[in-house]
Amino acid sequence: MDVRPRVLVVPSWYPSEHEPVAGVFVRAQAQAAIGCADVAVLHVAAGPGDRWTERVDDGLLTYRVSYRRPPRGDFAAYCLAAWRALRRVEARWRPDLLHAHVTLPAGFAAAVYGALRGLPLVLTEHAGPYAALLRTRRAGRLLARWTVARAARLVTVSGALRQQMEAELGIALQPPRWQRVPVPVDTARFRPGRVPDDAPLLYAGALLRAKGLYDLLDALALLRRHGLPARLLLAGDGPERAPLATHAAVLGLTDVSCTGWLPQAELAERMATCACLVLPSHGETFGSVLVEAMACGRPVVATRCGGPEEIVRPGLGVLVPPRAPQALAAALAPFVAGVARIDPAALRAAAERDYSLAAVGARLGALYGEIVAY
Express each pLDDT in 255-285 by its tens digit: 999 999 999 999 999 999 999 999 999 999 9
Whether residue 374 has pLDDT greater than 70: no
Q: Tell me the C-alpha to C-alpha distance, in Å, between residue 26 and each of 9, 11, 101, 252, 270.
A: 9, 7, 7, 39, 23
Whether residue 371 has pLDDT greater than 90: yes
More confident residue, 127 or 191: 191
Alpha helices in 151-194 (DSSP H): 159-169
What contacts 184, CB < 8 A, 6 or more positions away?
A: 28, 29, 31, 32, 355, 356, 357, 359, 360, 361
Task: Compute the distance between CA of residue 311 and CA of residue 314 in angstroms, rounded to an integer.
Answer: 10
Average pLDDT (211-237) is: 97
Q: What is the pLDDT of residue 341?
A: 87
Average pLDDT (145-174) is: 95
Instruction: Summarize pLDDT for 78-90 with one digit per residue, the tens.
Output: 999 999 999 999 9
Q: Tell me the C-alpha to C-alpha distance, in Å, between residue 21 and each of 80, 173, 262.
A: 25, 30, 9
Q: For the chain, what percent of residues have pLDDT higher than 70?
A: 98
CA-wise closest residue to 168 among 126, 125, 134, 122: 134
Q: What is the pLDDT of residue 139?
A: 86
Whether residue 160 has pLDDT greater than 60: yes
Average pLDDT (132-141) is: 78
CA-wise closest residue to 278 among 326, 223, 228, 319: 319
* The pairing of beta strand 60-68 with beta strand 51-57: antiparallel
> What is the signed CA dihedral for 194, 274, 19, 121, rounded to 10 degrees?
90
Cis peptide before 71 (omega within 30 of 0): no
pLDDT confidence tier of residue 128, bands split at 50, 70 and 90: confident
- Positive or negative torsion for Cα 260, 261, 266, 272: positive
What contacts 29, CB < 8 A, 6 or more positions away?
A: 9, 101, 124, 181, 183, 184, 360, 364
Q: Tell me the C-alpha to C-alpha distance, in Å, between residue 344 and each of 160, 191, 193.
A: 27, 11, 11
Average pLDDT (288-314) is: 97
What contacts 134, CB < 8 A, 6 or more positions away?
A: 104, 140, 141, 144, 168
CA atoms within 13 A on the CB side of 310: 20
User: For the chain, which domains are there?
Assistant: 6-184+356-371 (3.40.50.2000), 201-354 (3.40.50.2000)
Q: What is the pLDDT of residue 136?
A: 62
* Edge-to-edge strand ranges of the sheet holding 276-279: 256-258, 232-235, 201-204, 276-279, 300-303, 317-320
Yes or no: say if 44 and 82 are a contact pair by the CB < 8 Å rule.
yes
Task: Compute the distance between CA of residue 283 and CA of residue 303 in angstroms, rounded to an integer.
Answer: 8
Average pLDDT (190-213) is: 96
Per-residue DSSP letter, 104 = I
More confident residue, 282 or 17: 282
Output the CA angle 328-331-334, nearest 5 degrees: 140
Q: For the chain, what percent of residues have pLDDT higher than 90?
A: 89
Q: What is the pLDDT of residue 135?
A: 61
Give the chain's mean pLDDT: 95
Average pLDDT (151-167) is: 96
Yes or no: say if 162 and 123 are a contact pair by the CB < 8 Å rule.
no
Q: What is the pLDDT of residue 73?
A: 78
Q: What is the pLDDT of residue 1?
A: 35
